[in-house]
Each structure stands twice: as C-alpha cells, then as structure tokens.
C-alpha cells in the first residue's frame, strides 16, 4: 500500500501540469466542495468581522458627530441672525464672542473677547439679534467686561413700540435663576400698556441708541404711590445663552431702529432662562380691558394708539466717559447714577 501510494505521488509530481491541474480542479468541484465551502464561509466570517469593526467605528464617529450637530446648528442659526443684524446696522460695530464662565453670576457680567484694540470702550451698547444685551462695563486691550440687563444696577431708558409710554427698564429684584424678568418702571398711571407690547430703548441719555428691543410687556407688577405702574417685561435677549454679540462702537449713534424692523421683534429663544408662557392675546375693546391692569385700567386708555407727548426719563448711563483710563470698579460697589434732569418732551412722531 505504501509503495503504491508513493509511486502514485511521484507520478503526480512528474505528471504534466495539464493533467494535474484538471485533476485538482475536478477534486475541488466534486469531493472537496464541502471543504471549499467551509473555508469560504470562514473567510467571509473573518472579513465580516473586520467590516463590522469598521462599521462600528464609523457608527461611533457618526454618533459623535450627531451629538455635536444640534449645538452647531444652533450656533449657525445665531451667527446667521447676527449676520443679518450686522447688515442692517448702519453704525460702527465690533463683533464679539462671549466667553462664558462657570459661575452663577455669569449672566450678569459677561467677558467678551474684544477690547480697546478693536475699538471697544466703556459704555458701548451690546446687542444681539434678539435685542439688547447690556453695556460695556470696562474694556482692556483685548477683552472687555459687559454688564447685562440682569445686573441689579442696569438701567435703560425705554418706551413702548407704539410710543404710548415711557419709563426706565431695570432688572427685577425679585427675579432670579430661571425666572429672570425686567421691570418697566415709572410708567404713568394713566398710560396703561397692553401685554405683548414691545419695549424699546428710547435713545435718551446718550448711551443706548433708540430702537433696540428690550422685551415684551407681560403684566403689571405693582403700582407706586397711585401715580405710576411697574410692568413686568420679558427680555428679548438672553445673555446666558448668547454666544456672539455686536458691540456698537459709534459714539453718537442716535437710532438703530432700522436694524430691528418690526417683523424681527420676537421674544428670546425658548432655550433661555427667562422663558415663560405668554398670556393669551385678548381682544381689546371697550368692554374687554386688558389683563395687565385688571380692574384698574380703563378700556379707552388701552386702545389709544395715538401717542401723547411724554416726559421720557433717561437711562442711567453717564455720557461717554474715558473707559480705558477709568479704573474698573467692582460691580457691587458702583452706585446707580441718579436720573438726569428731565429732557424735553418727546414728540409722538419721533418715537417710531
């Protein structure tokens, strides 16, 4: 048997390639088919495992990208809004990035990545596509600190979009955290403001140009001595979630109303901390007084659209100091500037 096998093996060794090739091919296609199939399956399994690892790596990469995508989309949207605002602005401005800090007071004072080297100086207004953010508190060479509307000492002279009421807007002392609101103070008792009314900066005082959206009136907080009302205002812009802002560097900017047309006066994004459900819009009629002044406001005072001449109080900011030379005071130690002398009455057609 052994000799026979060896002879056959040697014969196969020295057989022509044509014969051995056809013999091997015949074996592979008949008897060895199961073995070839087994080996194919094994190779397929091995390559499948490699492909699975590749696919898992790609899936992990895609999952990581998907996690980042919403924030990128939101930032893209903010930048587009900011770009639209910058196109509408006809005043000098500097685009800045907000460097948020991990502190609970981050929304009161913001650190910006622009400073005097970029033309920023103290008391420059800061705006976002949604509206007013605050004002430059002090500026160093490449960075600056901004006081936002949520700071307790923030003040801005404001008026309603229809020009019916003037007052001072300040941060509500009772609002904190997720319930941040502004107060529209000093509105005469006879001038009721309908909920939903947009409040704009009046331009009085020389710091904030006229026409920057501040927020929307959502109701009455209290009355002061029976002659004035304090309204609650939902802020238009949220400093806590703002990543990019514009610093208005023009010194004698009187109005930026063209940068905020009426169709852009929308409330702040729902992700902000000041979000609150708005009250339903009520039809204004003589028999249906607005909900902001329940039982107190007369119906005919709420439907008045023709503005009357008012004595508009100015905002609290001082006119154009030298911020670079001025030492930066601590926010808590800085006293609120007393109101300036009352300005001349504002003509109705100048408010809008």
Partner 1 sequence: MNGSRTARLHLAIVFAALVLLHFYVRPRLFDTRLAPDFLLFGLIVFAMRSGPGAGALAGFLVGLATDALSPARFGAAILADTIVGYAAAWGRAVFFADNVLVNAGFVAVGLWLRDLILLIASGTPQGQLLIELGVYSPLQAIITAGAGALVLLAFRQWFAVRLEG
Interface residues with partner 1 (CB under 8 A) are 1-2, 5-6, 8-15, 17, 20-21, 23-24, 27-28, 31-32, 35-36, 38-39, 41-43, 45-46, 49
Identify the sign of the CA torsion 36, 41, 42, 46. Answer: positive
Our CB check for partner 1 shows the closer of 16 and 173 to be 16
The residue (of 49 and 311) whose beta carbon lies closer to partner 1 is 49
At closest approach, how far in Å is the CB of 12 from partner 1?
A: 3
Residue closer to partner 1 (CB basis): 23 or 254 = 23
Q: Which two tokens stand for residue 6?
A: 């060896």
Q: How far is the CB of 55 from partner 1 (least distance, A)?
A: 18
- Reduced to 3 states (helix: H, G, I; strand: E, B; else coil), residue 105 is coil
- Closest C-alpha among 127, 163, 343 to residue 242: 127
Angstrom CA distances, 12 to 35, 54, 80, 117, 266, stand at 22, 45, 79, 90, 90
Instruction: Enumerate the β-bridge partners of residue 219.
Output: 232
Q: How far is the CB of 56 from partner 1 (least distance, A)?
A: 18
Cβ of residue 99: shortest distance to partner 1, in angstroms?
54
Nearest residue (CB) to partner 1, 48 versus 101: 48
Continuous H helices in 264-328: 299-302
Shortest distance (Å) from residue 48 CB to partner 1: 10
Q: In Å, how far are 33, 90, 118, 283, 315 from 257, measured between CA atoms?
A: 84, 10, 24, 28, 17
Q: Which of 331, 324, 325 is nearest to 116 (CA)?
A: 324
Q: Please say which residue, 11 or 99, places its beta carbon nearer to partner 1.
A: 11
Of 35 and 65, which CB lies nearer to partner 1 in the complex structure?
A: 35
Q: Which is nearer to partner 1, 36 or 284 (CB)?
A: 36
Contact (Cβ atoms closer than 8 angstroms) between residue 209 and residue 179 = no
The three-class DSSP label of residue 266 is: coil
Q: How far is the CB of 81 from partner 1 (least distance, A)?
A: 56
Instruction: Answer yes or no: are the C-beta atoms of 352 and 241 closer than 8 Å.
Output: no
The total of other beta-carbon atoms located within 10 Å of residue 135's CB is: 25
The nearest distance, CB 7 to partner 1, in angstroms, is 10
C-alpha 243: how far from its chain's center?
Answer: 6
How near is the Cβ of 60 to partner 1 at its closest, in Å? Answer: 24
Calculated CA dihedral for residues 266, 267, 269, 272, nearest 10 degrees: 160
**CB nearer partner 1, residue 10 or residue 57:** 10
């Amino acid at each position: 048997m052994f000799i026979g096998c060896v002879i056959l093996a040697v014969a196969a060794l020295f057989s022509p390639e044509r014969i051995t090739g056809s013999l091997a091919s015949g074996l592979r296609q008949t008897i060895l088919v199961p073995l070839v199939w087994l080996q194919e399956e094994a190779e397929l399994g091995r390559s499948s495992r490699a492909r699975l690892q590749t696919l898992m790596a790609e899936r992990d990469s895609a999952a990581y990208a998907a996690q980042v995508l919403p924030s990128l989309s939101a930032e893209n949207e903010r930048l587009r809004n900011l770009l639209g605002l910058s196109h509408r602005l006809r005043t000098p401005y500097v685009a800045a990035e907000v460097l948020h800090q991990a502190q609970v007071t981050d929304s009161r004072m913001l650190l910006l990545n622009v400073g005097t080297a970029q033309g920023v100086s103290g008391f420059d207004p800061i705006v976002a596509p949604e509206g007013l953010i605050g004002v430059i508190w002090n500026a160093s060479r490449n960075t600056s600190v901004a006081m936002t509307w949520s700071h307790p000492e923030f003040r801005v002279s404001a008026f309603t979009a229809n020009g019916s009421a003037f007052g001072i807007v300040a941060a509500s002392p009772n609002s904190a955290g997720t319930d941040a609101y502004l107060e529209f103070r000093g509105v005469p008792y006879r001038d009721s403001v309908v909920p939903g009314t947009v409040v704009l900066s009046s331009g009085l005082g020389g710091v904030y140009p006229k026409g920057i959206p501040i927020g929307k009136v959502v109701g009455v907080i209290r009355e002061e001595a029976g002659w004035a009302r304090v309204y609650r205002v939902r802020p238009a812009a949220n400093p806590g979630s703002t990543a990019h802002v514009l610093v208005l560097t023009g010194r004698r900017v009187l109005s930026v109303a063209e940068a905020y047309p009426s169709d852009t006066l929308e409330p702040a994004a729902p992700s902000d901390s000041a979000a609150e459900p708005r009250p339903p819009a009520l039809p204004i009629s003589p028999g249906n007084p607005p909900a902001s002044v329940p039982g107190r406001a007369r119906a005919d005072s709420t439907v008045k659209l023709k503005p009357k001449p008012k004595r508009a109080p100015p905002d609290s900011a001082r006119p154009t100091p030298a911020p670079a030379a001025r030492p930066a005071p601590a926010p808590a130690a800085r006293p609120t500037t007393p109101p300036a002398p009352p300005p001349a009455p504002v003509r109705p057609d100048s408010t809008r």
